[in-house]
Amino acid sequence: MAEDRAQCIMSTPVGSFLLEEDGIGICRAEFLQEEKERTEPSTALLQEAVCQLQEYFAGTRREFTLPISVQGTEFQLDDWAALQEIPYGTTCSYQQIAEAIGRPEAVRAVGMANHANPVSIFIPCHRVIGKNGKLTGYGGGLDRKQFLLDLEKRFR
């Protein structure tokens, strides 16, 4: 962790979730592979991120209003912007994302960009599924992806 970054770990219904901010916005948000002890948010932005995620998991928040601070290639940034356009409680395919960013042949590259998404949930890569409707790839694990999709469908 860089010195100018702050982080905390929150508990969610599907495991420990790491949040990190860089003074500009949320720059990292990911499920941890192992359960970790919850830590208190040390900045107002982390406190707000925890609050908004708690509301999301309770089914009372459908959109996030936090500043996001991510860096990536032009393709990744285009992909992540397209992911943020997927409405709460719905899914789309990797092919649809590739077409949305004007690169219909880049389906696999979309999958790689989704995998590189540094702010899970806030940039909702969990809403992307295979063209055949099956769950594919998710850095937090397919069980968590299914949980998030089911949560959003339940509160849509």
Which residues have a catalytic role annotated? 125
Q: Is residue 139 within 8 Å of 117, Cβ to Cβ?
A: yes
Report the 10 Å Cβ neighbour count for 102. Answer: 9
Report the 10 Å Cβ neighbour count for 151. Answer: 18
Cβ contacts of 132 within 8 Å, gap of 6 or more: none
Which residues make beta-bridge pairs with 45? none
